[in-house]
Amino acid sequence: MKKFLLAVILLSSAWAVWSNYTAVEESLPEPVPESPTVTRLNLDEDVVVTPQPTPAVSGGQAEVAEASAGSPARVGILALDKWHRSTAASWDSTAVSPAVSDALSDFFSMRTNGAGTYSALLRESLPGVLGADFDSFANVWSTGGTVALSKALDDAAHLTPAWMAWCDALVFQLYADRDFLGAGNWLGRGIRQMLEAGYGRARIWEFRDMANELRDCASDCLPFEDYIVQSGDSLDAICRRFAKQGMALSYGWINSFNGKPIFNTNLRLEQKLKLPAQALHLEAWRGERLLLLYAGDDYLVGAYQASFGTEGNATPLGEFTLGDFLREPVFWQQGGDPVPFGNPDNPLGTRWMGFSENTDYGIHGNTDADETIGSFESLGCIRMHNSEVEELFELLPRGGKVIVRN
């Protein structure tokens, strides 16, 4: 009997201990699931970031909002991308956190307070909120200057938002340092990449004045050949002579390169000229209705707005050669009589530059349609303001190249 009572007591004690342990275990908080170690962002290039651990306990609406937006690195990268795509007038600094807004404001201060101040700030501490790529470029620039930054941008494996922003900053700094060759080449490369990444035309248009200024600086940095005007010379004769030697020149480009008005035709005996060694070519961006004028591969010397073909009459993509150059062109309509220059039914305006590969297409002016330039309203040609097509008519060489991109 005693043994039976002892067994009952022991079982009762064991049950009490087990019940107490189970109650304590059930009262513990649920374990917080571990965050994934890598998140990939859907930007122009994938950017890998390591998110912060999810907090075990929410501390209010602010933390909930931040958690739903993503990691601080993701938020900063997206903010940098949106900021750099925005025009100066359209950016809303209140849409981002104070830390991100301050970091972007400090970055832009390179243009207002001077590069030295921002470089000193970076040597004290990197922003830390705009992504690892941004901080990497910032560190390179603050310690090595424009030479080191140029190399870092050249060597970059991906064209991230940080690459775009620092390319822009590099252009500004090179121009401030009067390194016009570097500024022109990086501006040309940067704008091409911005357009390929889907930047809007208003944002690209903000660079137009700098492109025009770089044209004025071209003879200070681009290669040229010295030439002394001989008896019987004209600018057209010089262009034809050097075309036989493989130099694609136009007299407007010679004038511009020598600091003369583009339409100037006057020469004097034994006048010294610089003949630019790099021909001009045009890149036409159909989606944003923009034309970019380049010297050589990358040096940007001009930007223009233009109209392109309507739906169903899209301007063809590809590389074309400029063949016919016509002043006051006649419009040869299919199945109809030719329409002379000056007739309101002639849509070609004051100039025509035709594509050799497809003579139905070309670049021309307009007749009473200035307000439509910059839209999709032509039958497939590239239509411009008359004053600007007249300028391009003198600048582009016969046999010059036009690349129509999407």
Output the DSSP codes for 249-262: --HHHHHHHTTS-T
The residue annotated as part of the active site, out of 84, 281, 364, 385, is: 364
User: Could you tell me which residues come within 8 angstroms of residue 36 by beta carbon, excluding any fewer than 6 positions away?
Assistant: 51
Q: If DSSP codes are grouped into helix, strand and coil, which group holds residue 301?
A: strand
Condensed to tens digits (0 to 9), the pLDDT of residues 123-175 reads 999 999 999 999 999 999 999 999 999 999 999 999 999 999 999 999 999 99
The answer to whether 346 and 367 have CB atoms below 8 angstroms apart is: yes
Residue 46 scores a pLDDT above 60: no
Q: May I ask the CATH class of domain 223-276?
A: alpha beta
The catalytically annotated residue of 239, 281, 381, 385 is 381
Six token digits for residue 243: 């075309």
- Count CB neighbours of 51 within 10 A: 16
Query: Where along the chain do its domains lie?
Result: 100-216, 223-276, 306-405
Residue 366 has pLDDT above 50, yes or no: yes
Q: Give the pLDDT confidence of 284-307 residue by residue, as tens digits.
A: 999 999 999 999 999 999 999 999
Tell me: the pLDDT tens digits for 124-135? 999 999 999 999
Q: Is the predicted pLDDT of residue 43 greater than 70, yes or no?
A: no
Instruction: State which H helix or E strand residue 354 sits in.
Output: strand 351-355
pLDDT in tens, 186-229: 999 999 999 999 999 999 999 999 999 999 999 999 999 999 99
Q: Mean pLDDT, to the nearest integer, of 379-400? A: 96
Residue 5 CB: number of other CB atoms within 10 A? 9
| Helices marked H in 49-97 | 61-69, 72-85
- pLDDT score recorded for residue 369: 81
Q: How far is CA 251 from CA 6, 141, 277, in A?
A: 117, 41, 13
Q: What is the pLDDT of residues 305-355, one digit of tens each?
A: 999 999 999 999 999 999 999 999 999 888 788 999 999 999 999 999 999
Q: Tell me, what DSSP letter sits at residue 273?
A: E
For the question of residue 364 being annotated catalytic, the response is yes
Indicate if the pLDDT at residue 57 is higher than 70.
no
In the prediction, which pLDDT does 70 show? 61
**What's this model's pTM, rounded to 2 decimal places?**
0.81
Please tell me the predicted confidence (pLDDT) of residue 400: 95
Cβ 367 vs Cβ 380: under 8 Å: no
Per the prediction, the chain carries an average pLDDT of: 85
Q: Tell me, which fold does domain 306-405 have in CATH? A: L,D-transpeptidase catalytic domain-like (2.40.440)
Q: Is 381 left (phi over 0), alpha (psi -120 to 50) or beta?
A: beta
Give per-residue pLDDT as tens, 223-233: 999 999 999 99
Catalytic site includes residue 381: yes
